[in-house]
Amino acid sequence: MDARVYTRDDREFETICAALRKQAANIDIVRDPLDGFGYYSHSYDIVVVAVDGALGMEIVLEHGRRFPDTLMIWITDDAYFSETAARRHIYGFIERPYSAMRLNETVSALFEEYRERRKILMTPAKVVKIQASPDDEAIPDIKMNSKPGNDKR
């Protein structure tokens, strides 16, 4: 399991990491350098965007466009963006200022969703064996490398 965190604040990064590790101790967490280059190399299981303003929205929208199955938490100082978060199916939206308890609740709920998705993906499908009845017509063999009209039956 892996996560990417976008934030400029070192203390906020540590708080987010603690909340994520509380749910999954062995999670790999990468901090985006926010240097303007926009690294979208691969999908992460979880993305936390704790960037205010238009840049935060740009990151959220780009991640959502490229990796629609990624579970995302968006932390921002503008309540106006909650409508965008709802339209874009962002899993968690937290408005600043926020408490560690609010972050932990949102991360906990996100991990519940993650486990549910994994459960659905990991549940083996039922294998149904179909037996042909004697009344069924035989299906002719198909030769893979034969050309049309060159059938030698």
Q: Domains of the chain (ranges plus CATH)?
A: 2-122 (3.40.50.2300)
DSSP category for residue 55: H
pLDDT at 108: 93
pLDDT at 21: 96
pLDDT at 51: 92
Task: Provide φ and ψ at 5, rounded to 5°.
Answer: -120, 130
**Pairing mode, strands 71-76 and 92-95:** parallel
3-state secondary structure of 33: coil
Angle subtended at Cα 115 by Cα 41 and Cα 91, rounded to the nearest 5 degrees:
60
* Residue 43 Cα distances to 4, 65, 72, angstroms: 9, 11, 11
| Bridge partners (DSSP) listed for residue 73 | 48, 92
Query: Residues of the chain whose pLDDT is less than 50?
Result: 139, 142, 144, 146, 153
pLDDT at 149: 55
pLDDT at 144: 47
Put simply, whether the predicted model's pTM sits higher than 0.85 gets the answer no
Q: Are 62 and 144 in contact (CB under 8 A)?
A: no
Q: Is the four-CA dihedral 21, 24, 28, 33 of positive or negative sign?
A: negative
H or E segment and range at residue 137:
none
**Pairing mode, strands 92-95 and 46-49:** unpaired
